[in-house]
Amino acid sequence: MPSITYREALNQALREEMRRDERVFLMGEEVGFYQGAYKVSKGLLEEFGPERVLDTPITELGFTGLAVGAAMAGLRPVVEMMTFNFSLLALDQIVNSAAKMLYMSGGQFRVPMVIRGPGGSAHQLSAQHSQALEAWFCHVPGLKVVMPSTPADAKGLLKSAVRDNNTVIFIESEVLYGTRGEVPEAEAVIPLGVAEIKRPGRDVSVIAHSKMVLVALDAAGELAKEGIEVEVIDPRTLRPLDSETILRSVKKTNRAVIVEEGWPFCGVGAQMVDTIQHHAFDYLDAPILRVTGADVPMPYAKNLEHLCLPHQARVIEAVHRVLYKH
């Protein structure tokens, strides 16, 4: 299998799905002539033309609403948010229109659309451009939420998202765009709602998503030097959540650590704790621990930004605590 970047994998997925289905089109700020703020849409305007690759004004509420209407009319729009921080400007269309239309129309109108782009922190983008907002979208019935951590997952999950008949929130990571990995050249569609064990282990289950998977894997590598075998689980899809894979792992290891970039209060990890607590409580040999971002707006200073985010040492400390090493 060829090794390509996360960004190239997303580009492949979009290109293949636009070739496969003429109803699929891409829209967003700078997706056309500029080829995307992060070059995910490179070459698509040249191949598919301005009717299927649409540069929009800086009006998230407007073009997201346009996409909802297009989806209701039978098209399959892919909306690029230059950053998911900007999706806040379109929350009314996402939460009150896209997520609820199927229910409120009594099943008459589906809204098959993907809203995608980078979320979370990158490098010194400060408080307004570093937010991990996935928990907000996971809270809303009618939305699916996907966060791939590898190039292969990015391609396979985006293809599934484009084909899904529901509205899919597809959050990428600016930090991951340049990472490389093997990606199948064949169809290689990955179904939504299926987790993957990124590293098998027997001692502790570490559940992480998006770029926190890389942090968890780094920590697992260090812990292996101590003889501690960590099982790293990547949910890949946060809603619907593959609870079965998570619970099966926890029942095997009897310990769980959850790593997420987002804020701790009402975070994605809190939902996972609830799931494990309800369905695997009798298997636990230690309290479930969470490693999260700090409960503050993201500072601009590089050293403070590092302190706010989960990193290898914090994950190792949490694993030691559930193993009663300290």
Tell me the H-state helices in the chain: 6-20, 44-48, 60-72, 91, 101-104, 134-138, 151-163, 212-224, 243-253, 268-280, 302-308, 312-322
Known catalytic residue: 8? no
If you ran DSSP here, which 8-state letter would residue 265 be given? T
Strand-pair partners of 146: 170, 237
Cβ pair 158, 8 in contact under 8 A: no
| 60 a catalytic residue | yes
Question: DSSP secondary-structure letter at 95?
Answer: I
Active-site residue, from 8, 16, 80, 129: 129
**DSSP secondary structure string for all residues of 142-169:** TEEEE---SHHHHHHHHHHHHH-SSEEE
Phi then psi for 289, rounded to 5 degrees?
A: -115, 150
Helix axes of 151-163 and 6-20: crossing angle, nearest 10 degrees: 30
| Residue of 8, 16, 29, 60 marked active site | 60
Count, residues in the chain? 326
- Separation between Cα atoms, residue 226 and residue 219, nearest integer Å: 11
Catalytic residue set: 60, 129
